[in-house]
A and B are shown apart, each in its own frame.
Chain A
Amino acid sequence: MNAMSQTQGLQLLNGNHAVALGVMLARPDVVPLYPITPQTPIFEKLIDLSEKGQLVTELLTPESEHSAMASAIAASATGVRVFTATSSQGLLLMHELLHYAAGARTPIVLFNVNRTPAAPWGFWPDQIDSLSQRDTGWIQLYSETPQESLDSVIQAFRIAEQVKLPVMINHDAFYVSHAMEPVAVPTQDQVDSFLPPYRPEMYLSPETGCSISAPLDQKSWNLSRRQMAQAMAGVGDLVGSVGQDWGRLTGRGYGPIEQYRTEGAELVFVTMGSMCGTVREAVDALRGDGIRAGLLKIRLFRPLPEAALRAALAHVPCAIVLDRNYSPGMGGVLHQELKSALFGMSGPPRLHGLLAGVGGVSVSCATLRKLAAEYLLAAPSPDPVWVE
């Protein structure tokens, strides 16, 4: 039997509904949620599944995202599995508690739909909402397709619960959240065999009588960060091994990065999320034109898989980073991260940082082909370039 026929078969699903099915299969105990466009279809589908008895969980609807994350932390601390989802303003409102969740080592899984923050108001795909949570101590994954979003939710629980760090998975507003495609939905048995029930060795209970997050002296606080650093150090490998396990089970393997047609490439696009789909098409077209192009997709953004990135770009003369985000005064966040990851490397690629798709602007295959021709032999650009 091939992997595909072991599944319930293909269903036509948008990205958000695929996430909800992944959540259902992961059997979370508590799910606090507050609605926000374009996350809402996740919320709606979870209510629907719970109403039908397919999802047995405590769906809590607090008065804001701040309260949703607070509830998530406390629920998780009692030793149960917790999921929540949000987008843009909601994620920004959670910010205070994102630090708390990571510091308290609660392995919550959060799905964020990447959307522009106000002001001005907009509902467009842009990754600055989650990228600006980079230093909160959350593991961050970025997904390209509805299928990957479903698969990543299930994997995320295994990763989070093993290292006791929360995981945030992201996909782009509308391009992924609302676009439909055929998705292979694994069976409950498959998922149960992959993701055992959560059994933490430490949790809040009357028997253990421990208290959470009491104020500490400087040394102990410092130690808490060293312990997080230790946990983070193992995440890259863990994301790889969990992704491989998933691959053995379903035929769809994953890692911290993915390389598409990078063999012998003279030019590699580096990006995350839905942009990867367009880049694949551009790469095929460029190869047809005689330009040896490839794609380096970053799936794990925090912790950044630096060694894997350096290895992937070791013999590549030119790399173009496509940032669907903008950090004012600096440029694209991914460009910034890549520069630091490649620092000191012998024979690094000529690195170009292009602000492509900021605010949800559509970047076409034709644009990417033009950019490739323009930057292939150009000197590296220290400053970010806005793509028209």
Chain B
Amino acid sequence: MNAPKFKASDYKSDIDPIWCPGCGDFHVLMSITKALAELGRAPKDIAVVSGIGCSSRIPAYTNCYGFHGVHGRSLALSAGLKVARPDLTVLVMSGDGDGFSIGGNHFLHACRRNVDMTYVVMDNRVYGMTKGQPSPTTEPDWDSALSPGGTGLSPFHPLVIALASGANFVAREFSGNIKASTRTLVEAVNHPGFSFVEILSPCVTFRPDEKEWKNTVHAAQVPETDDPARAARRIMTDDGMNTGILYRGNRAPYRAQVSDKVGDIAPLEAAFEV
């Protein structure tokens, strides 16, 4: 076997993350860089796009092309990037607030459009960056200073929505399980079309109760399927803590009509020459 071309550290920038000590997002960053090393594409061939939130800071912590977008619009940005440069591997990174609140509508349409990219939502069931408001995935009875008595609202079920809206690959992982997360991310990127991976990533500051997740997550007992009806039945009885790949479909990805070729970026590259 050939020696691997890249190490995980090749994908890490020299910027120190400003996440709180113990934040699950550190682990997500590790899984991402490990998965990229395994995939073996050079950092310059990868774009990491995000919205806004603690989770969305991740592009700057990688050595790939980074795009720190606006709140909720990471998927819309990524679609533009991918159709203009289909040769790039596009990783879209978001949080439960960014992706399901303000950006919720884009999620439905990105699943439907099935552009070939991987969407990772670092779900901590809270708006971490703005200091602890409940998000669409927050449990209805989560009682806190900013949600006294709980919201009483039924939470969003990201995997159900992804499946129902046509995502071609649907999975959930836990940030603390780096090996499994890395594996699933590799599969997600390699699978054509729109891949969705929810990574449960504890916010230790505003959801200290989530430190318990390491004891409550469990690998799903049922194997993955390519049958949406079976996946739907399985997900309807999900307790939110099942991990692993749920669904891997066969829908043909969106094809860019005009720009499905590598653009000439020589002049741009020349401009960045130092």
The reply to whether A89 and B133 contact each other, CB–CB distance below 8 Å, is: no
Q: Does B223 sit within 8 A of A, measured CB to CB?
A: no
Residue pair A64, B145 in contact (C-beta under 8 Å) = no
Q: Is A35 among interface residues, defined by CB-CB distance under 8 A? A: yes
Which residues B147-170 have CB closer than 8 A to chain A? 148, 151
Segment from A36-44, A179-187, A233-241, A376-384 that makes contact with B: A36-44
Question: Any chain A CB within 8 A of the CB of B101?
Answer: yes
Known A-B contacts A37-B130, A63-B104; A89 and B70 likewise in contact (beta carbons under 8 Å): yes
- The reply to whether B68 and A121 contact each other, CB–CB distance below 8 Å, is yes
Cβ B130 vs Cβ A36 within 8 A: yes
Instruction: Give the CA-CA distance A61 to B71 in the complex, in Å.
Output: 16
Q: Is A118 an interface residue (CB 8 A)?
A: yes
Q: Which residues does chain A contribute within 8 Å of B102, judged by CB atoms?
A: 34, 63-64
Distance of A34 Cα from B102 Cα, bound (Å): 10
A74-111 interface (Cβ within 8 A of B): 89
Assembled-state Cα–Cα distance A35/B127 (Å) = 9
**Interface 1/0 per residue, B59-97 and A, CB below 8 Å:** 000000000101110000000000000000000000000
Q: Chain A contacts of B127 at CB under 8 A?
A: 35
**Chain A stretch 238-271: residues in CB contact (< 8 A) with chain B:** none
Interchain Cβ contacts within 8 Å, total number: 35
Instruction: Decide if B71 touches A44 in the complex (CB within 8 Å).
Output: no
Is B68 a contact of A64 with CB atoms below 8 Å?
Answer: no
Task: Contact check, A89 vs B130: say whether CB atoms are below 8 A apart.
Answer: no
Known: A35-B130, A63-B101, A63-B102. A48 touches B70 (CB 8 A): no
Q: How far is the CB of B265 from chain A (nearest CB, A)?
A: 21
Chain B: interface size category: 10 to 19
In the complex, whether A341 has a CB less than 8 A from a CB of chain B is no
* Pick from B70, B72, B101, B131: contact of A40, CB under 8 Å: B131
Q: Which listed residue, B130, B136, B146, touches A63 by the CB 8 Å rule?
A: B136
Q: How far is the CA of A64 from the CA of B71 in the complex (A)?
A: 9
A37 to B146, CA, bound (A): 15
Residues of A within 8 A of B131 (CB): 35, 40, 44
Separation of A34 and B72 alpha carbons in the complex (Å): 13
Q: Could you tell me if A51 and B148 are in contact, using CB atoms closer than 8 angstroms? A: yes
Rounded to whole angstroms, the CA-CA distance of A63 and B101 in the bound complex is 5
Task: Let me know if B146 and A44 touch, CB within 8 A.
Answer: yes
A residues near B68, Cβ cutoff 8 Å: 121
In the bound complex, CA of A63 to CA of B130 (Å): 14
A121 CA to B52 CA, complexed, in Å: 10
Chain A minimum-CB-distance residue to B127: A35
> Of the candidates B70, B101, B129, B145, which one forms a contact with A47 in the assembled complex, judged by CB atoms under 8 Å apart?
B145
Q: Interface size class for chain A?
A: 10 to 19
**A47/B130 contact (C-beta < 8 A), A63-B101, A63-B104, A89-B71 known:** no
In the assembled complex, the CB of B109 is this many whole angstroms from the nearest CB of chain A, namely 15
A47–B148 Cα distance when bound, in Å, is: 8
Contact residues in A for B129 (Cβ distance below 8 Å): 37
| B178 CB to nearest chain A CB (Å) | 29
Whether B145 pairs with A48 at a CB distance below 8 angstroms is yes
| Complex alpha-carbon distance, A121 and B71, angstroms | 11
A61 touches B133 (CB 8 A): yes
Chain B residues with Cβ below 8 Å from A35 are 127, 130-131, 133
Assess whether A118 is in contact with B70, with CB atoms less than 8 Å apart.
Answer: yes
A35 to B98, CA, bound (A): 12
Task: Using CB atoms, name the residue of chain B closest to A62.
Answer: B101
- Cβ contact within 8 Å between A40 and B148: no
Cα distance, A157 to B264, chains bound together (Å) = 57
**B166 to A: closest C-beta gap in Å:** 22
Q: Please give the distance in Å from A112's CB to the nearest CB on chain B.
A: 16
Complex: A89 Cα to B68 Cα, angstroms: 14
Please report which residues of chain B, range 100-144, place their CB below 8 angstroms from some CB of chain A when the two chains form the complex. 101-102, 104, 127, 129-131, 133-134, 136
User: What A residues does B136 contact at CB under 8 A?
Assistant: 63
- A44 to B52 alpha-carbon distance, docked (Å): 20
A51 to B104: give the CA distance in the assembly, Å: 29
Smallest CB separation, B155 vs chain A (Å): 13
Smallest Cβ-Cβ distance to A33: which chain B residue:
B133
- Given A63-B101, A64-B101, the answer on whether A47 and B146 have CB atoms closer than 8 Å is yes
A residues in contact with B145, CB < 8 Å: 44, 47-48, 51
Q: Write the chain A residue with the least CB distance to B102.
A: A64
**Taking the nearest CB of chain A, how far is it from the CB of B74, in angstroms?**
13
CA distance A64 to B135 in the complex (A): 11
- A61–B145 CA distance with the chains assembled, in angstroms: 15
In the bound complex, residues from chain B placing their C-beta under 8 Å from that of A89 are 52, 70-71
Which residues of chain A have a CB within 8 Å of any CB of chain B?
34-37, 40, 43-44, 47-48, 51, 61, 63-64, 89, 118, 121
12 pairs across A/B with beta carbons < 8 Å? A34-B102, A35-B131, A35-B133, A37-B130, A40-B131, A44-B145, A44-B146, A47-B145, A47-B146, A48-B145, A61-B151, A64-B102
Contacts A61-B151, A63-B104 given; 13 further ones with Cβ under 8 A?
A34-B102, A35-B131, A35-B133, A36-B130, A40-B130, A40-B131, A47-B145, A63-B102, A64-B72, A64-B101, A89-B52, A89-B71, A121-B68
